[in-house]
């Protein structure tokens, strides 16, 4: 991924408390939250004189924000490479229902482990690095995607560890202008 991007995390989804939500779970957000984030993005673009063009993950928790902007005359692009990490068989389960041995295996091989049928952190990092969004793009994506992107920006070449991996940004938060 090259150039400066401004990335927002999608609004808080409905009904996901305590669940593992990744790239397969297409969970909704309340329309007011999607509209509120769209208004913040619109104000940011106006303030910085940016084009009215938004890139989002195709999952509704991101795409709904883009749909609001499209209603207001924006160009909306949906891209699969902006999806959250794929947690495979874990996706949608309550964290408490995932076997401890599997969580321990993930922690032991944090960058290389992938839940059954899922995606490893290394695969997510490679997907983000190859993303190729245009300079100055405005993006709505996911917490894990944002953290992995930040890792690529701030710790290139270092191997991520579970114990040092940061918490995701709050819902609706802007990650800002990171360069690569």
Confidence of residue 167 (pLDDT cuts 50, 70, 90): confident
Q: Helix axis angle, 31-47 relative to 60-71, nearest 10°? A: 60
User: What pLDDT shows up at residue 4?
Assistant: 83
State the Cα–Cα distance between residues 163 and 43, nearest whole angstrom. Answer: 37
Where do the structural domains in the chain lie, given as residue ranges?
5-178
User: How does pLDDT run across 17-43, given as a tens digit for each residue?
Assistant: 999 999 999 999 999 999 999 999 999
pLDDT(67) > 50: yes
Report the Cα 152 to chain-centroid distance in Å.
14
User: What pLDDT shows up at residue 179?
Assistant: 43
Residue, of 167 and 61, whose pLDDT is higher: 61
State the Cα–Cα distance between residues 9 and 72, nearest whole angstrom. Answer: 20
Backbone angles phi, psi at 63, to 5 degrees: -60, -30
User: What pLDDT shows up at residue 180?
Assistant: 37
Angstrom distances, CA of residue 113 to CA of 7, 98, 124, 148: 26, 15, 11, 15
Return the CATH architecture of domain 5-178.
3-Layer(aba) Sandwich (3.40)
Confidence of residue 175 (pLDDT cuts 50, 70, 90): confident
User: What pLDDT shows up at residue 158?
Assistant: 85
User: What pLDDT shows up at residue 122?
Assistant: 96
Q: What is the pTM of this model?
A: 0.92
Query: In what order do the strands lie in the sheet containing 75-78?
Result: 75-78, 53-56, 137-141, 5-9, 174-178
User: How does pLDDT run across 98-147, given as a tens digit for each residue?
Assistant: 999 999 999 999 999 999 999 999 999 999 999 989 989 999 999 999 99
DSSP H or E run through 8? strand 5-9
User: What pLDDT shows up at residue 59?
Assistant: 98
Strands 5-9 and 174-178: antiparallel
User: What pLDDT shows up at residue 153?
Assistant: 86
Helix (H, G, I), strand (E, B) or coil at 174: strand
Give 48's contacts (C-beta < 8 A, 6+ positions apart). none
């Amino acid at each position: 991924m090259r150039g400066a991007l401004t990335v927002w995390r999608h609004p808080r989804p409905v009904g996901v408390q305590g669940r593992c939500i990744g790239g397969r779970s297409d969970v909704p957000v309340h329309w007011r939250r999607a509209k509120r984030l769209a208004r913040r993005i619109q104000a940011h673009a106006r303030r910085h004189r940016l084009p009215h063009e938004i890139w989002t993950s195709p999952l509704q928790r991101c795409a709904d924000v883009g749909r609001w902007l499209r209603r207001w005359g924006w160009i909306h692009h949906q891209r699969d490479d902006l999806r959250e990490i794929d947690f495979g068989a874990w996706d949608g389960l309550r964290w408490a229902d995932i076997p401890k041995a599997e969580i321990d295996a993930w922690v032991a091989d944090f960058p290389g482990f992938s839940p059954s049928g899922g995606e490893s952190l290394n695969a997510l990092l490679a997907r983000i690095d190859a993303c190729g969004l245009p300079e100055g793009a405005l993006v709505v994506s996911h917490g894990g995607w944002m953290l992995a992107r930040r890792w690529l920006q701030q710790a290139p070449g270092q191997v991520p560890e579970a114990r040092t991996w940061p918490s995701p940004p709050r819902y609706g938060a802007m990650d800002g202008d990171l360069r690569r």
